[in-house]
Structure 1
Amino acid sequence: MRKHRDDWEEETMTQTDQAQDFDHAIKDEDIERAKLLLGVDAPTSIDEYYRELSADGIRNFARAYGDDNPLFADPQYAAGTRWGGPIAPPMIHIAMSRKMLGDPIPDDIRKATRGLFSGVHMFVSGQDTEWFAPVYPGDTLYGFGGLESIEEKASEYAGRSIIRIIRSVRVNQRAEVVAVTRMILIATERKKSRERGKYMDLKAATYTDAEIAEIDEIYAAEGPRGAEPRYYEDVNVGDVLPKMAKGPFTLTDMICFHTGGYGLAPYGIGPARVGYKNRQRAPKFYIKNAAGIPDVAQRLHWENEWSQSIGNPMAYDYGVMRECWLTHYLTDWMGDDGWLVRQHDEMRKFNFIGDVQIITGEVVGKRVENGNGVVDVEFRATSQRGEITAPATATVALPSRELGPVVLPRPSEELQRKAAAMTARHNELAHGTLR
């Protein structure tokens, strides 16, 4: 989950250190230094795969995680919806952003916080996301964010843990807040020796023709609600949502996800001379493969040999891939006239090559919120082993016969002012650069 310009350093450390037995304690001084970053927003100074969105970009991004909803894929169809044209799927912000100009983190704070929690195991445990505005062809997104909170916890098993919430705000070229994500980043003292290799006895899933046919039956029954409104009044607590299948997960799926736009630009990954230049920029991100060739640490998501060398039985997906799947589940169900207001998700288990995930859910609440009829959904991805790998909750706004069409939610006035100020500063600096 790439959100900020220096995130690759943290992820590189996490991926490369897994090959060693690090047992570093969390230092009090690191906690105090981290607190210097509280409330300090900085512009996201990277270009994502898409800097400006097109109808083709929307279609390709959706297809990359298996979503063929015509609202995203067919401009002619989308022109007849309330949106007047195609809009991007909710998770587009993981692959779309243009470098935002602005004032960097002050040098004294940057220097004081360099190397935080070095050698300590870190992982992303989940994310909260709120959506406020659609993204259309021709739109550009910019980002800013920083540390929103830091909390210390302790347990007998994991030892001392630090939970950081990293807020990332996406705004469009009109300074409108489009989405806000809050990534849950955990640093823990749990020893690698306790964790490394715990999945190594896991065997890759295999399937009979009959088992593939059962999965295909779910695919055959799937499909977006589309133009038929799902009215708030017709939904009741206890309603069960249809099943959705994802998988069995293959290397082809991973290739498609990357070609749709995720994960290449922030890491600087590229072939030939592009790759060479990136290797000079970020040498720690490159680790020799069995043939002695420097290759990216990120390849644990597609190379079984590398993943096995650091204690996993085979390659596995990205958490954000499953987040895309979870939002896909909701956008199919709610129809063209609905709006995904917020989602909370957690990545509890790996999704390995060969695994299949079946997404199921049910309505657990309904009420009026900000003038909209909204429903609360609890849902989850469950593997063929019967393990819940990604539990989630969400709030969906639906059109109402009584209340009318969905009204888009609004960010807080404070956040909108911040977005306007950050955009104004960007435009000021961009104008100065152009001169």
Structure 2
Amino acid sequence: MTEQTPVTDRRFPLITDEALDELRGRIGRPFRPPVPHVTEATTDSIRHWALGIGDANPLYVDPAYAATTRHGGLVAPGTFLYAFDRVVSGYVGGLPGVHAMFAGTDWNWKRPIRVGDRIAAEPALKELKDLKSTFSGRSIKQTYQVTFTNQDGELVCVADSWCIRTQRDIARERATRETVVPKTWTADEIAEVAAQYAAQRPRGGEVRYWEDVQAGEVLPPLLKGPSTVTSFVCFTQGWGSLYVKAHAQAFDMFREHPALGIPNDLCIPEPPERVHWDNALARAVGVPAAYDYGPERVSWLGHLMTDWIGDDGFLKRLNVQVRKHNILGDLTTCRGTVTRTWREDDEHLVEVAVEGRNQRDEVTAIGTAVAALPSRG
């Protein structure tokens, strides 16, 4: 077997004007997206998604409970749509060999997702923005818009989702200037995390009325983590991942997209997605350790909101930017603060500023959520 360059020493392609021009030609043009992980909302697929993001709300996982609510049966968290389309989850085309880091989604939901819904996604490249980055020199913000419709042709959601394309070699060289060491937790700290988890619960059937909400109200915090490879695997069981394939299907993928086959330390090609469990490849792209999936963190902030809203509210919008890597060992605390309330088109709306913050007190995700609540009127 021919000896291959270790991943930590391998040189990767840079962003070029020629490659960007080719990619710009795809803006607005329809294309066939990769096969989704889920095409129908079933009792099982909804449960797998909910538990994959750590959300055991009985509205999503207990059919008997859900039947007693105004929904009359199980519904799904809105972020479940990540499992219906790989593009909204961070799959990008063009710029082969240039790393893609998921950076956020702006979800706009129109109706709940119910058991039996068959949902199709139609993605299109929306925008390319040239950026200057302290992380990797030149970088590109690549945004797609994805429209989701159900089996009746009804609009379920429109979402803009974006990745930042970064130059791996420059990011690796610059990353040596600052070292973040994954946290080692004490037994007492883990016991405190466990106690906080034990106290977390959704609002459930206790109605939160719009009239009772005031600007400045602080939502109960929601813990996620500490992050482990196991927790990342748990998320992929519900979500499906981007490039995780095995056996003949993996080699078919590498044949069609050669830049996806990055040799591991045994010289076997594996996809760049292994930055989520392979510390060596994570360091090769400029991150100090393996890190979580961005859609996972967006979904955590959705969980924060739906726990607070209760069974009778509806999360209409969730716009979240992923700001920093959430590496192995990190504990994320999700928080929210009501910023305003208003009425529009017979709906009673609440806006909440949301964020995820780690144990180093760094904001790793930030955004805005809008919920419709029932009114006493």
Q: Is TM > 0.5 for Structure 1 vs Structure 2? A: yes
Q: Does 1:20 align with 2:8?
A: no
Change (3 A) 1:44 1:373: farther
TM-score (norm 1): 0.76
Quote how far apart the aligned CAs of 1:135 are.
1.6
Q: Deviations over 1:47-74 (max 9, x none)?
A: 2122222111111110011110000000
CA distance in 1, matches of 2:100, 2:252: 27
Pair 1:86 & 2:86 matched: no
Listed one character per residue, the Cα deviations across residues 152-175 of structure 1 (whole Å, up to 9, x for unaligned) are 566899876654431011111111
Aligned 1:321-336 pairs, distance under 5 A: 321-336=296-311
Mapped to 2, the partners of 1:286 and 1:307 lie a distance apart of 15
Does residue 341 of structure 2 align to residue 350 of structure 1? no
Distance 1:280 1:34, change over 3 A: closer
Q: Distance in 2 between matches of 1:310 and 1:368?
A: 46
Secondary structure, aligned partner of 1:205 = coil
RMSD of aligned residue pairs (Cα, Å): 3.0
Residues 27 and 125 of structure 2 are in contact (CA less than 8 Å); yes or no, is this contact kept in structure 1?
A: yes
What do the CA deviations read for 1:323-371 (whole angstroms, capped 9, x no partner)? Answer: 1111011111100111111111111110001110011111011001221
Give the CA deviation at 1:149: 3.7
* Whole-angstrom CA distance in 2 between matches of 1:392 and 1:18: 37
After TM superposition, the structure 1 = structure 2 runs for residues 313-328 of structure 1, keeping only pairs within 5 Å, are 313-328=288-303
Structure 2: distance between partners of 1:209 and 1:286: 40
Gaps of 5+ in 2: 1-6, 87-92
The unaligned stretches of length 5 or more in structure 1 are 1-15, 99-114, 403-435
Q: How many equivalent residue pairs? A: 367
Flag the 1:287–1:34 CA change in 2: closer, same or farther, 3 A: closer
Q: How does 1:15-414 map to 2 (within 5 A)?
A: 19-20=10-11, 23-25=14-16, 27=17, 34-40=23-29, 42=30, 44-96=32-84, 123-151=101-129, 162-187=140-165, 192=170, 196-198=174-176, 201-263=179-241, 266-267=242-243, 269-402=244-377
The CA deviation string for residues 206-265 of structure 1, in whole angstroms up to 9 with x for no partner, is: 1112212222232122111111111000110010100110000111101111112331xx
Which amino acid in 2 is paired with 1:400?
A: S
Task: Give the match's secondary structure for 2:112.
Answer: coil
SS in 2 for 1:355: coil
Larger Rg: 1
201 and 160 in structure 1: CA distance in 2 versus 1, 3 angstrom threshold? closer
Aligned to 2:4: none
Distance 1:275 1:117 in 2: 20
2:219 and 2:337 in contact (8 A); partners too: yes
* Native 8 Å contact 2:124 2:144 kept in 1: yes
Q: 1:234 to 1:389 in 2, by over 3 A?
A: same
What letter corresponds to residue 210 of structure 1 in structure 2?
Answer: D
